Amino acid sequence: MQAYQREFLGFAAAIGALRFGEFTLKSGRRSPYFFNAGLFDTGARLARLAAAYAARIGASADAFDVLYGPAYKGIPLAAATSIALARETGRDVPYAFNRKEAKDHGEGGVIVGHPLAGRVLIIDDVITAGTSVRESIEVIRAAGAQPMGVVIALDRQERGAGERSAVAEVQDLFGIPVFSIVSLDDLIEFLEISESDSALRDAVRTYRSRYGV
């Protein structure tokens, strides 16, 4: 685990964005942990999240030309990550996001910000059913640009309706990589090195063995 990943998990837990207990997910599964990126809801918190996105992009993502944040959650993520990249790396990366409905006055259209052109990197919080990614790719391709990858905050590394995870399905279906700041494997390692309660570690490992890919 990289230092920025360990720091990210520690900060997420400190502010309650990463919680432990017993949570019923949309799938009906009972999970021993829950991640809510919506709780990065202040300037300082969002800056820490964006710095983690920037670090992950710098570590793994291939060359790209534009950041794209799908409405609505992806909008502040793309904007803040663009700021973090400029601050941390000196690279002035343009960003864009979409409107849910096309504007028929003023500049019009569905895209706000930099024009979608060249290689586009999608910034989102998580991937569940892959619907947001699919819609983003349609928007990007309609603009004549090329989707080249997706960056998310957390990869739960668990099966969807079938044997594969939502992340694996997106990668296979669209032929683009998905990068995450942290994964369930990273979370388990974090719990081990942070000397957390053994019952919690066992619960997360059990969940991984039951639902993991």
- Give the catalytic positions in this structure: 103, 105
The answer to whether the beta carbons of residues 50 and 20 sit under 8 Å apart is no
Q: Nearest CA to 17 among 53, 56, 45?
A: 45
The answer to whether the beta carbons of residues 67 and 78 sit under 8 Å apart is yes
Alpha-carbon gap, residue 191 to 142, rounded angstroms: 43
Q: Nearest CA to 167 among 146, 182, 145?
A: 182
Find the radius of gyration of the CA atoms of the chain: 17
Q: What angle (nearest 5°) sits at the alpha carbon of residue 172, between those of residues 61 and 36?
A: 60
Tally DSSP H helices, then E strands, for the chain: 7, 8
Give the single-character DSSP code of 44: H
| Cα–Cα distance list, 78 to 84, 93, 120, 213 (Å) | 10, 10, 12, 29
